[in-house]
């Protein structure tokens, strides 16, 4: 694609163009890259500022790898401009520019897809997977991008990037891939980071879904208002005037049970379809049966002229457990029902989902106590998971958990307090300490537990090594107890110091159970 064609796609024209030698406008740009190590000969390098380094430091590397032009924000030091290794285009907002360029480079795939964005503190991956399963059962070829998995028209692969919402370049590339494979719909998990950093800019969302908004990521967004504001962006992006010619119904799916409803409603310029368990709403759940290994309820859908929907009732049976999964199901029902998916397909789609990797996953090696791996890593999700497990536990309820390094420091004592109040015994351990002092993270969590009246070494332990922590918890378990391993879920690595070490809670749990004498495979 010609450089001038790409530049014409920018929402805001460049503020300066620092040429090096001849005129590059007519140059053919063969690829885009924001990581200099990914630059290809004939490519454009987009210098994005990161949390640790600034892309502008890698211009020479990009040039060495064959980049023909670079684009980024203005240089603070004018003196550097005289020694640029390649032509440099200055823009005010490089993240929006990256999204604009990616959309143009991949031919604006979102314009030809019904795009569904799912945001919220907890439940995004689950809800996204549920929506995609329903659409597939209804015969719609679908693209899906989440923390855990990617899917294009039934072909699925793991998300090994440790990032929930990828950069705009990968998002647009994915949408193009889905469209080329014949997809009519795309479901994209949109985190608050992703929204704030313009990663989903250009996705032209038709449907916006929110699960809930609670305390998390406050280090990044500074205040709960900033965090809510980031989530609101998804809803601001919905537009009734956008006509893709696909017969899609622009709609905002909001949770009436959650504080986010009142916060987000003013940002919605499209019709709102609400869902709830505890309040009257367009999509409601009644007659909940929350079993140990399945859930059953009736979804009552109120007809709406606005959406051209009739009244309906659907009996839902799902293998997902716990009240919050009823909420996730309702969000998925509302999203798909609003797009004209039949009640039968909704029920079949939800029934088809066996479980989401690392979410409430049972590990059974024949031991007389329950071991459950779950991704709960926020105060709200930890509280909800423990509340689900308590009535399902005859004996003691225990949890092994930690809190990530360099992330949301505020939540650490809160997590400690929740474990103190809701379990009988717990082990505080590593999650992903990154470059932080591991013991300090454990101490931060322990402080919350101590304030809640628990004694270290007696009511709980701090063991940084996660394998040892799991082994010690298993050694404490008796018949009828439940041990929750929280915070790592599906993840395949643990970040300690600068290292990314292989890790899988489920595998470690099985191995420790085997060492404790349990082994279903023998
Ligand atoms: N609706 C919900 N409300 C509260 N907690 C939930 C909800 N749905 C799932 N959870 C809990 O949160 C954990 C993560 O679920 P899920 O992966 O679906 O959320 P997510 O929003 O995608 O998380 P992340 O932001 O880390 O990608 C689950 O393992 C479960 O403990
Ligand atoms: Mg997720």
pLDDT in tens, 117-139: 999 999 999 999 999 999 999 99
pLDDT at residue 217 is higher than 60: no
Structure tokens at 476: 């404490």
The DSSP annotation for 296-360 comes to: EEEEEE--BTTTTB--EEEEEEES--SHHHHHHHHHHHHHHHTTT--HHHHHHHHHH----TTSS
Contact 167, 34 (CB under 8 A): yes
pTM, entire model: 0.91
Higher pLDDT, 303 or 424: 424
Angle at 236 between CA 232 and CA 237, to 5 degrees: 120
Instruction: State whether the beta carbon of 383 lies less than 6 angstroms from ligand 1.
Output: no
Alpha-carbon distance of 86 to 45, in angstroms, equals 10
- Which H or E run contains 265? none
Looking at residue 455, what is its pLDDT? 97
Q: Please report the atom of ligand 1 found closest to the CA of residue 489.
A: 29
Looking at residue 222, what is its pLDDT? 58
CA 164 to chain centre: 4
pLDDT at residue 219 is higher than 60: no
Alpha-carbon distance of 337 to 171, in angstroms, equals 25
Alpha-carbon distance of 335 to 208, in angstroms, equals 8
Q: Specify which residues 367 forms β-bridges with.
A: none
pLDDT in tens, 32-91: 999 889 998 999 999 998 766 777 778 888 989 989 999 999 887 776 777 788 899 999
- Which ligand has an atom closest to residue 356 CA? 1
Instruction: State whether the beta carbon of 128 lies less than 6 angstroms from ligand 1.
Output: no
Q: Specify which residues 272 forms β-bridges with.
A: 252
Average pLDDT of the chain is 92
Contact 237, 269 (CB under 8 A): no
- The CA 377 to ligand 2 mean position distance, Å, reads 11
pLDDT at residue 498 is higher than 70: yes
pLDDT band at 232 (very low <50, low <70, confident <90, very high): confident
- Which ligand has an atom closest to residue 357 CA? 1
Mean pLDDT value of segment 150-176: 93
Looking at residue 522, what is its pLDDT? 63
Looking at residue 164, what is its pLDDT? 87
User: What residue has token string 């996953």?
Assistant: 361
- Which H or E run contains 482? strand 482-486
Q: Specify which residues 142 forms β-bridges with.
A: 185
pLDDT in tens, 293-327: 899 999 999 988 877 888 999 999 999 999 999 99
pLDDT in tens, 36-47: 899 989 999 999
- The CA 489 to ligand 2 mean position distance, Å, reads 11
- Which ligand has an atom closest to residue 124 CA? 1
Looking at residue 161, what is its pLDDT? 84
- The CA 146 to ligand 2 mean position distance, Å, reads 6
pLDDT band at 97 (very low <50, low <70, confident <90, very high): very high
Alpha-carbon distance of 139 to 154, in angstroms, equals 11
Alpha-carbon distance of 492 to 335, in angstroms, equals 31
Residue 286, Cβ density class (10 Å: 0-12 exposed, 13-18 middle, ≥19 buried): exposed
- Give whichever of 159-163, 223-227, 247-251 has the largest mean pLDDT: 247-251
- The CA 119 to ligand 1 mean position distance, Å, reads 11
Alpha-carbon distance of 126 to 138, in angstroms, equals 19
Alpha-carbon distance of 220 to 407, in angstroms, equals 8
Nearest CA to ligand 1 atom 11: 381
Mutate to test the pocket of ligand 1, among 126, 163, 374 (most ligand atoms within 8 A of CB): 126
Mean pLDDT value of segment 472-495: 96
Nearest CA to ligand 1 atom 9: 123
Instruction: State whether the beta carbon of 384 lies less than 6 angstroms from ligand 1.
Output: yes
Alpha-carbon distance of 68 to 63, in angstroms, equals 7
- The CA 45 to ligand 1 mean position distance, Å, reads 35
User: What residue has token string 């190590």?
Assistant: 37
Dihedral angle, C-alpha 406, 46, 162, 487, nearest 10 °: 30
CB atoms within 10 A of CB 218: 16
Looking at residue 24, what is its pLDDT? 67
Looking at residue 132, what is its pLDDT? 98
Structure tokens at 401: 């958990």
Q: Determine the 3-state secondary structure of 8 from DSSP.
A: helix
The conformational region for residue 463 under phi > 0 = left, psi -120 to 50 = alpha, else beta, is: beta
pLDDT at residue 490 is higher than 80: yes
Mutate to test the pocket of ligand 1, among 118, 121, 123 (most ligand atoms within 8 A of CB): 123
Residues with CB under 5 A from ligand 2 (ion): 124-125, 147, 164
- The CA 147 to ligand 2 mean position distance, Å, reads 4
CA 283 to chain centre: 24
Q: Which ranges in 452-504 belong to alpha helices (H)?
A: 466-476
pLDDT in tens, 263-298: 899 999 999 999 999 999 999 999 999 988 899 999
Residue 318, Cβ density class (10 Å: 0-12 exposed, 13-18 middle, ≥19 buried): buried
Angle at 504 between CA 134 and CA 477, to 5 degrees: 100
Structure tokens at 514: 């085997």
Structure tokens at 522: 């023998």
Mutate to test the pocket of ligand 1, among 255, 260, 381, 489 (most ligand atoms within 8 A of CB): 381
- The CA 375 to ligand 1 mean position distance, Å, reads 7
């Amino acid at each position: 694609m010609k450089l001038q064609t790409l530049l014409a796609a920018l929402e805001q024209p460049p503020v300066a163009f620092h040429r090096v030698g001849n005129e590059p406008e007519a140059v053919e740009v063969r690829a885009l890259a924001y990581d200099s190590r990914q630059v290809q000969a004939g490519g454009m390098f987009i210098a994005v500022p990161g949390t640790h380094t600034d892309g502008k430091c890698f211009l020479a590397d990009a040039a060495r790898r064959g980049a023909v032009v670079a684009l980024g924000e203005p240089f603070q030091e004018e003196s550097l401009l005289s020694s640029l290794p390649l032509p440099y285009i200055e823009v005010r907002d490089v993240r929006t520019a990256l999204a604009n360029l990616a959309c143009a480079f991949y031919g604006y795939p979102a314009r030809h897809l019904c795009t569904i964005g799912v945001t919220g503190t907890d439940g995004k991956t689950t809800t996204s997977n549920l929506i995609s399963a329903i659409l597939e059962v209804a015969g719609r070829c679908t693209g899906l991008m989440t923390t855990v998995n990617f899917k294009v028209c039934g072909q699925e692969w793991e998300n090994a990037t440790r990032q929930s919402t990828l950069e705009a370049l990968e998002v647009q590339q994915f949408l193009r891939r889905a469209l080329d494979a014949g997809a009519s719909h795309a479901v994209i998990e949109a985190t608050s980071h992703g929204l704030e950093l313009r990663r989903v800019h250009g996705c032209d969302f038709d449907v916006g879904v929110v699960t809930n908004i609670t305390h998390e990521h406050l280090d990044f967004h500074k205040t709960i208002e900033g965090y809510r504001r980031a989530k609101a962006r998804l809803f601001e992006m919905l537009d009734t005037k956008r006509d893709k010619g696909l017969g899609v119904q622009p709609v905002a799916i909001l949770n009436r049970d959650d504080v986010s409803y009142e916060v987000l409603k003013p940002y919605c310029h499209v019709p709102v379809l609400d869902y709830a368990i505890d309040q009257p709403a367009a999509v409601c759940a009644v007659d909940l049966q929350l079993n140990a290994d399945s859930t059953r309820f009736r979804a009552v859908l109120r007809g709406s002229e606005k959406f051209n929907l009739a009244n309906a009732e659907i009996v839902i049976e799902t293998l997902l457990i716990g009240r919050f999964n009823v909420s996730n199901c309702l969000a998925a029902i509302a999203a798909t029902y609003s797009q004209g998916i039949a009640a039968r397909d909704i029920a079949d789609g939800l029934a088809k989902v066996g479980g989401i990797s690392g979410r409430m996953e049972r590990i059974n090696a024949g031991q007389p106590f329950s071991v459950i791996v779950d991704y709960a890593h926020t105060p709200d999700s930890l509280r909800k998971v423990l509340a689900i497990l308590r009535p399902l536990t005859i004996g003691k309820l225990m949890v092994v958990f930690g809190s990530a390094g360099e992330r949301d420091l505020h939540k650490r004592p809160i997590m400690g307090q929740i474990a103190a109040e809701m379990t009988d015994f717990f082990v505080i351990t590593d999650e992903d300490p990154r470059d932080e002092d591991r013991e300090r993270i454990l101490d931060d969590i322990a402080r919350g537990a101590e304030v809640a009246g628990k004694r270290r070494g007696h009511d709980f332990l701090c063991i940084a090594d996660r394998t040892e922590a799991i082994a010690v918890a298993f050694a404490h378990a008796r018949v009828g107890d439940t041990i929750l391993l929280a915070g790592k879920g599906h993840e395949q690595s643990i970040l300690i110091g600068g290292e990314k070490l292989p890790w899988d809670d489920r595998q470690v749990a099985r191995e420790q159970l085997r060492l404790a004498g349990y082994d279903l495979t023998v």
